[in-house]
Structure 1
Amino acid sequence: MRTYVHIAPKATPPEDARLPAAPRRHDPDRRARLVRAALDVIAEHGVAGTTHRRIAAAADVPLGSTTYHFASLDDLLTEAFTLLADTVAARFAARLAAATTREQACEAVVDLVVDDAWATPRTLLLSYELYAYAARVPAFRRVMQDWMGKSRTALERHFPPETARALDAMIEGLSIHRSVDRQPAGRDEVRAIVARLAGSPLTLP
């Protein structure tokens, strides 16, 4: 004799009892935040220690966001270093643009070296990383070249091209030396160097 067991169909919950799908997080700034976070990670760990995972953690986003927004780690590093270069170049240009005479321009150059107008410890550290990475990965030299071009253009508002080139190299080199020198060059010494390079008589403000 066969026994039949009746299995009741599963009840379908009413529409208002179903859990709604989790809303997608609206985060229009995510890509830019990843770029800024990359600079933070580079400053802390160096390029060699920079990974997708560390950048995602610093930006407080899922790991997959880095590969969603950037084709490779080098693409992300390129944008990060470009942001650094553009930010510093804009600050550099603004200081020189405020000068209306050659003497004021010379003093602006002194400020760029002495007053940390651009060469903050963080900026210098990131610059070292960019220089080293560009030496190993030629594609990154374009970022450096564009940065140098903007700096020289700002200087050429007040000085001939060859003088602008010399002053640009002096600003960067002397800023680096001052960051590690036991007795960094003071304002008067830097002013004398600028006057010599610019071919201007030394005047005290």
Structure 2
Amino acid sequence: MRERILNAVLHVIGTDGIAAVTNRRIAAQAQVSLGSITYHFASQTDMLRDAMLGFVTEETARLTELAEKYRDKGLSVQDAASLTEQVVRDLGWAAERVAPFELYIQAGRDPALRAAADECFAAYDTLTVTILEGLGVPNATTIAPTLVATIAGLQLRRLATGADSQDISAAILMLLPR
């Protein structure tokens, strides 16, 4: 039931924004009783935080599994950049994929969400360091946050403009030492 509620939170945020998140709306979307919302979450901030962390946990697991498939395949940095671009393009823009951007912006307004946003970006940084180290890229820990921010920024730009013309792999290769 808790997972249904969190999925409903992401759907509502991705569809209509954070302002649309009400206990009644989430209960209806999740097809649970109104009391279930308050049973599982003491506050709306708790619900938003857990939705953000849940998304990133699932996304990190998915990307880690993908990275592990290619770990021993002898990919070059160029191959990895192209693979990253393909993964980004294949994500699509379902409401649940738009929601994290809204939540990150909300974390800028709500100090109670900042630790969760920090945890999310730390998970992406850790995954990126693992991939970069696997590729033998020097200074992976230093480069990872910039690489994560670049990919997130390009995704946000893609979302905001509807354009799919950016070359993510070229951007990645510009940031990595050769």
Could you state the TM-score of these two structures normalised by the residue count of structure 1? 0.71
- Of 61, 69, 79, the residue aligned with 2:32 is 61
Offset from partner CA, 1:105-125 (integer Å, 9 cap, x none): 553343333433674313542
**Structure 2: where are the runs of 5+ without partners?**
none
Please say if 1:113 is aligned against 2:93.
Answer: no
Runs of 4+ displaced beyond 4 Å: none
Against the structure 1 CA distance between its residues 56 and 39, is the aligned structure 2 distance closer, same or farther, given a 3 Å change threshold? same
- SS, match of residue 121 in structure 1: coil
Letter in 2 for 1:150: A
Letter in 1 for 2:129: E
Map 1:193-204 onto structure 2 (within 5 A): 193-200=171-178
Letter in 2 for 1:57: A
Residues 11 and 99, structure 2, Cα contact 8 Å, conserved in 1:
no
1:71 matched to which residue of 2?
A: 42
Please say if 1:177 is aligned against 2:157.
Answer: yes
Please say if 1:94 is aligned against 2:65.
Answer: yes
Residues 93 and 151, structure 1, Cα contact 8 Å, conserved in 2:
no
Aligned residues: 167
Aligned Cα root-mean-square deviation (Å): 2.3
1:151 matched to which residue of 2?
A: 124
Letter in 1 for 2:3: A
Q: Percent identity over the alignment?
A: 29
**Structure 1: where are the runs of 5+ without partners?**
1-29, 201-205
Residues 109 and 171, structure 1, Cα contact 8 Å, conserved in 2:
no
Against the structure 1 CA distance between its residues 95 and 48, is the aligned structure 2 distance closer, same or farther, given a 3 Å change threshold? same
2:100 matched to which residue of 1?
A: 127
Offset from partner CA, 1:110-141 (integer Å, 9 cap, x none): 33334336743135421221122101101211
Of 89-98 and 50-59, deviating more is 89-98
Against the structure 1 CA distance between its residues 121 and 127, is the aligned structure 2 distance closer, same or farther, given a 3 Å change threshold? same
2-structure distance, mates of 1:67, 1:178: 36
> How far off its partner does 1:58 sit?
1.0
Please say if 1:164 is aligned against 2:164.
Answer: no
Taking CA–CA contacts closer than 8 Å with sequence separation of 6 or more, which of the two structures ends up with the larger relative contact order? 2
Against the structure 1 CA distance between its residues 118 and 138, is the aligned structure 2 distance closer, same or farther, given a 3 Å change threshold? farther
- Of 34, 56, 60, the residue aligned with 1:85 is 56
- Max Rg structure: 1
Residues 113 and 175, structure 1, Cα contact 8 Å, conserved in 2:
no
2:169 matched to which residue of 1?
A: 191
Offset from partner CA, 1:57-78 (integer Å, 9 cap, x none): 1111221121122212221222
Residues 96 and 155, structure 1, Cα contact 8 Å, conserved in 2:
no
Against the structure 1 CA distance between its residues 192 and 63, is the aligned structure 2 distance closer, same or farther, given a 3 Å change threshold? closer
> How far off its partner does 1:33 sit?
1.7
Against the structure 1 CA distance between its residues 150 and 89, is the aligned structure 2 distance closer, same or farther, given a 3 Å change threshold? same
